[in-house]
């Protein structure tokens, strides 16, 4: 092929490319934004203590975080592993 033919092919590609690009953009679906789960409740207290009450509070906070993020199976497993550390909603009045 000579130079003139290559130039004509290049011009044809430049003319056809925007039309093809618009059709490809219409075919490919748009991406939906990723929905992030709600953030876990923040602990404002210093939990560096190791006494039993602090440990129980940490386990209860873990279960509350699981429930807040709709991870009910994880919360149930925590109840199974450590049934005495987590309060299942029993009020001590």
| Residue owning tokens 């953009």 | 25
In a domain, 36, yes or no: no
3 or 89, which is more confident: 3
pLDDT of residue 13: 92
Same domain, 45 and 11: no
Residues 26 and 45 in one domain: no
Enter the DSSP assignment of 45. Answer: S
22/1 same-domain check: yes
Say whether both 25 and 62 belong to one domain: no
Percent of the chain with pLDDT over 90: 17
Q: Does 57 lie in the same domain as 13?
A: no
The long-range contacts involving 43-46, CB below 8 angstroms and separated by at least 24 positions, are none
Is 90 inside a domain boundary?
yes
Residues 45 and 90 placed together within one structural domain of the fold: yes
Q: Which domain holds residue 47?
A: 41-93
CA–CA dist 58, 41 (Å, integer) = 12
Please tell me the predicted confidence (pLDDT) of residue 93: 38
pLDDT tier, 10 (very low <50, low <70, confident <90, very high otherwise): very high
pTM: 0.40
Those residues whose C-beta lies under 8 Å from the C-beta of residue 76, and which sit 6 or more positions away, are none
pLDDT at residue 28 greater than cutoff 90: no
Q: What is the pLDDT of residue 31?
A: 79
How many independent structural domains does the chain possess?
2
- Give dist(CA 59, CA 83) in Å, integer: 10
Shared-domain flag, residues 59 and 23: no
Please check whether residues 48 and 93 belong to one and the same domain.
Answer: yes
How does pLDDT run across 17-27, given as a tens digit for each residue?
Answer: 998 888 888 88
**Which residues, in sequence order, are CB contacts of 75 under 8 Å at separation 6+?**
63, 66, 67
Residue 48: pLDDT over 70: no
How far is the C-alpha of 40 from the C-alpha of 54, rounded, in Å? Answer: 19
Q: Is residue 65 located within the same domain as residue 84?
A: yes
């Amino acid at each position: 092929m000579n130079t003139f033919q290559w130039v004509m092919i290049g011009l044809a590609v430049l003319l056809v490319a925007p039309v093809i690009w618009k059709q490809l953009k219409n075919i490919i679906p748009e991406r939906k934004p990723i929905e992030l789960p709600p953030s876990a409740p923040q602990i404002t207290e210093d939990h560096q203590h190791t006494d039993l009450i602090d440990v129980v509070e940490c386990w209860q906070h873990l279960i509350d975080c699981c429930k807040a993020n709709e991870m009910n199976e994880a919360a149930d497993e925590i109840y199974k592993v450590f049934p005495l550390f987590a309060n299942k909603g029993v009020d001590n009045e």
